[in-house]
Structure 1
Amino acid sequence: MPDQPIAPVPLAPQYKGQQAYRRPGEIQWLALTEDAYRLLYKTDEYDDGAKDRVRSHRSAVNELLSGALQYSNLGFFAGSGTSLGEAKGPSMWQLWAAAMCTDDSGAALTDAAAKVCERVRYEERKDPNIEHFLSQCDAYLAFSQDVEVQAFIVEVKAKILTLCSSFLQEGASDISAYRHLLQKLARRRVRDPRLKVFTTNYDMCFETAASNLGIMVVDGFSYTRRRRFDGRHFTYDVVRRDADKHEFVEGIFHLHKLHGSVSWERQDNDIFEAQAPHPERACLIYPAKGKYQQAFIQPHLELLSRFLDFLRQPNTCLIVSGFGFNDDHLSEPIFSAIQSNPSLKLILTDHCCIQHMHNEGSHGSSIYWRKFAELAAKGFDIHFIGGSFANIVDMIPALRAVSPAEQLANAIKRIGAA
């Protein structure tokens, strides 16, 4: 039997959650809070000069994010880290422990899990990943008709569906950060392309937040009674029509759930929205680490294609939050895009950002953090911000829609100043 899993131990845990900013071309972190100032600069003093420095650093981040909102193509990429914290969503480690282990600590695999791991040759125990395990099971089943492995996959999917749904249904979660994010980002100029939200999360946090705000979501599904996925719906928009004119409705955004959803069910060749999908038909996508075989199956083909197309567009900014860059099929396109698209701005945020940057591929940190750091040191437009998802949302300035009268007044002022 393979060695039992152990929980990953982070390096330099004191830096976890610290709010700091690192500019392109620089190696020094700029503290954004008093705690970060004391830790990063190794001092107990926090006088007026220190307060001014922190305020200056926060102002720089505010200016960075304010400028990002002005990009015509704006995207927000949400990894599993956005569902942690106040939202109380399950982490990848918790999904692994609940589906594979005898208790929540993840100290030991169940007999059934150990048997399947041995059969499909999944040997990762130091930093196991439930999606990578399932993808290995799929690869195994492609060549072996194993009823036991197939039945175990259905059991694991059932537990994932429950864990990724129940935390919202129980009402214990706080998704205010999601609401504030959508309130701030979705109020862009309607003549610009719609805000694009990409997420690897299975949960319904974005949909729930949008529903609470009364914001319409374009998610690739039809607006019929039985909603069916069709990528053409991403090309549609919503307008407000009067007798003699029409205008785009404010606040609408596009949601691309790159790894599927707890509300998606596969029926033959179609994907439908379902209140409680059957685990055997649940549309949860888990591409193998370092492989791309599932990238050519709908709806992943459509969603991934739109993500890749977004990265190639001119005047584009992508804000990444809570994504560990452990999925090669998503990390590599981002890494390639920042080198080939000269107008792409990349803002990477995470509550363990400082740790990731200095772990250099060890202790569960992806090697892509080091790769991005090396590009940033060469002057590529890559910014790093440490802090939780809620911290980052708080730093994003609120856009205020300018009325036609205000636009006219501003134009007159510019003409007068000329």
Structure 2
Amino acid sequence: MSDTARAVPVPLEVNYSGQLAYLSPGSSVWKALSESAYRVIQRVTDIEPEAQTRIGQNRQNVIDLFSGALQYTNLGFFAGSGTSLGAAKGPSMWKLWTSAMCTDATGNQLTELGQEVCTKIRYSERENPNIEHFLSQCDGYLSFSDDPEVAAFVTTVKAQILDLCSGFLFDDGADITAYRYLLQKLARRRVRDPRLKVFTTNYDMCFETAASDLGITVIDGFSYTRSRRFDGRHFSYDVVRREADRQDFVEGVFHLHKLHGSVSWEREGNEVFEVSQPRADRACLIYPAKGKYQQAFLQPHLELLSRFLDFVRQPNTCLITAGFGFNDDHLSEPIFSAIQANPSLKLILTDHRCIEHVHNRGHHGSSPYWGRFADLAARGFDIHFIGGSFADVVDVIPSLRAVSPAEQLAEAVRRVGRAHE
């Protein structure tokens, strides 16, 4: 067997998706954080009392990990599409493809117009069609060909994407409880610390809706005028409570950076406004296409991306990711570079397929960045992996609050005791 063949990992025999487990830096052993995960990882049906104790210890260790991480001066949460695919029931990439291009949800038959456009632009993927690749080829075709039919079809596809990424929140089955719990836990930072930074590639309004439900103020780069206009200077503004003899920062405020745009943004000339129903041809979105790297250097995406790049280079910074598959090179590469250049950066990478991604190392549909991060973690870099759904991960994050000196002393004694067990 050649070295190349040995380098390709064999697909996992067991389905580890959604199993709550933890992989610490320098370790190759996944530790179960729940009984169901223990049964899958250890391939057993019964759990001995000693194993239950270990599961409890593993879970407490991860809670302690988050507890320490949340005390970092700069705290960021990065949400990918996976956060919306769970209880929120947001659309998957396959859903976007079948809804825009096919006659039914199976994806076996393209619409007549869809087939005609595919022929024109020479898009021939049929076994594993991808809406990203399709839109990318459309963009390339239109850059050299003035074809009104293709241009109109692309606008129609984008309108459907816009509708699918905004309408699911109004369905009866949509549940954004995990978003509310996350903001309740993370946004309660000490007011003297920098505000929580939430970065997301999602177009949907899950974070805005959750914040509204909780009565939390969101600083998203838009003005607080009747016609809300984007201006990056608003990220330097804050909200204070002013009384006769004093003023204090309002608790719970957080910054929201929607790196790929939003279903509520519309471009008008050189400016971007927040509207309730943007037109597809004016919607300010980086649509799911391979050319998104180039689109990221247009405003307001450039402003938001610059703030993200600056954040991961700050000292004493912790970045938690959830539902992000590291398939966007213009975001994955800065994170990968930052962890090597910033010695005080802590990464906690979570995903419902985290175990599979780390194992696959760029094969079987996983991004190669998972293997690169795993290699750095094996060398001692401060990179932690947690497998599990978005809701399960939020569940093990402790509520963020200021810890009293007595509590800090008690926690230190408890950790020393566990270290000597």
**TM-score normalised to the size of structure 1?**
0.91
Given that residues 136 and 291 in structure 2 are in contact (C-alpha distance below 8 angstroms), is that contact kept between their aligned partners in structure 1? no
Q: What do residues 304-338 of structure 1 show as CA deviations (whole Å, max 9, x unaligned)? A: 11110111101011000001111111111111111
- Asked if 1:195 corresponds to 2:196, the answer is yes
Cα separation, 1, equivalents of 2:206 and 2:39: 35
User: Counterpart of 1:275?
Assistant: 276
Q: What do residues 246-267 of structure 1 show as CA deviations (whole Å, max 9, x unaligned)? A: 1111100000111111111111
Cα separation, 2, equivalents of 1:282 and 1:13: 42
- Asked if 1:344 corresponds to 2:371, the answer is no
Deviation at 1:44, TM superposition (A): 3.1
User: Counterpart of 2:16?
Assistant: 15
- Asked if 1:175 corresponds to 2:180, the answer is no
Deviation at 1:165, TM superposition (A): 1.4
Instruction: Return closer, same or farther for 1:65/1:96 CA change in 2, 3 Å cut-off.
Output: same
User: Counterpart of 1:6?
Assistant: none
Q: Partner of 1:196: helix, strand, or coil? A: strand
Given that residues 82 and 321 in structure 1 are in contact (C-alpha distance below 8 angstroms), is that contact kept between their aligned partners in structure 2? yes
AA aligned to 1:112 is: L
Deviation at 1:290, TM superposition (A): 7.5
Instruction: Return closer, same or farther for 1:212/1:344 CA change in 2, 3 Å cut-off.
Output: same
Q: Which moves more between the two structures, 352-361 or 76-85?
A: 352-361
Given that residues 262 and 277 in structure 1 are in contact (C-alpha distance below 8 angstroms), is that contact kept between their aligned partners in structure 2? yes
Between the two proteins, what is the percent identity of the paired residues?
71
Given that residues 127 and 364 in structure 1 are in contact (C-alpha distance below 8 angstroms), is that contact kept between their aligned partners in structure 2? no
- Asked if 1:119 corresponds to 2:113, the answer is no
User: Counterpart of 2:401?
Assistant: 400
Given that residues 287 and 293 in structure 1 are in contact (C-alpha distance below 8 angstroms), is that contact kept between their aligned partners in structure 2? no
Cα separation, 1, equivalents of 2:352 and 2:193: 30
Given that residues 346 and 383 in structure 2 are in contact (C-alpha distance below 8 angstroms), is that contact kept between their aligned partners in structure 1? yes
Q: What do residues 10-52 of structure 1 show as CA deviations (whole Å, max 9, x unaligned)? A: 9656211111100000111001111211221233331110001
Q: What do residues 158-213 of structure 1 show as CA deviations (whole Å, max 9, x unaligned)? A: 11111111111234311010000000000011111110001111110000000000
User: Counterpart of 1:206?
Assistant: 207
**TM-score normalised to the size of structure 2?**
0.90
Aligned pairs, number? 400
Deviation at 1:96, TM superposition (A): 1.6
Q: Which moves more between the two structures, 284-293 or 254-263?
A: 284-293
Given that residues 32 and 55 in structure 2 are in contact (C-alpha distance below 8 angstroms), is that contact kept between their aligned partners in structure 1? yes
AA aligned to 2:260 is: H
Instruction: Return closer, same or farther for 1:117/1:367 CA change in 2, 3 Å cut-off.
Output: farther
User: Counterpart of 1:140?
Assistant: 141
User: Counterpart of 2:63?
Assistant: 62
Mapping for residues 351-362 of structure 1, pairs under 5 Å: 351-362=352-363
Mapping for residues 29-44 of structure 1, pairs under 5 Å: 29-44=30-45
Deviation at 1:293, TM superposition (A): 1.7
User: Counterpart of 2:416?
Assistant: none
Instruction: Return closer, same or farther for 1:12/1:333 CA change in 2, 3 Å cut-off.
Output: farther
Q: Which moves more between the two structures, 52-61 or 32-41?
A: 32-41
Instruction: Return closer, same or farther for 1:12/1:91 CA change in 2, 3 Å cut-off.
Output: farther
AA aligned to 1:371 is: R
Q: What do residues 103-144 of structure 1 show as CA deviations (whole Å, max 9, x unaligned)? A: 112223323223333433444445444244323322332222
Q: Cα RMSD (Å) of the superposition? A: 2.1
Q: Could you list the runs of 5+ residues in structure 1 that have no partner in the other structure?
A: 1-9, 414-418
Instruction: Return closer, same or farther for 1:114/1:334 CA change in 2, 3 Å cut-off.
Output: farther
User: Counterpart of 1:27?
Assistant: 28
Instruction: Return closer, same or farther for 1:221/1:90 CA change in 2, 3 Å cut-off.
Output: same
Q: Partner of 1:95: helix, strand, or coil? A: helix
Cα separation, 2, equivalents of 1:117 and 1:367: 29
Cα separation, 2, equivalents of 1:194 and 1:122: 45
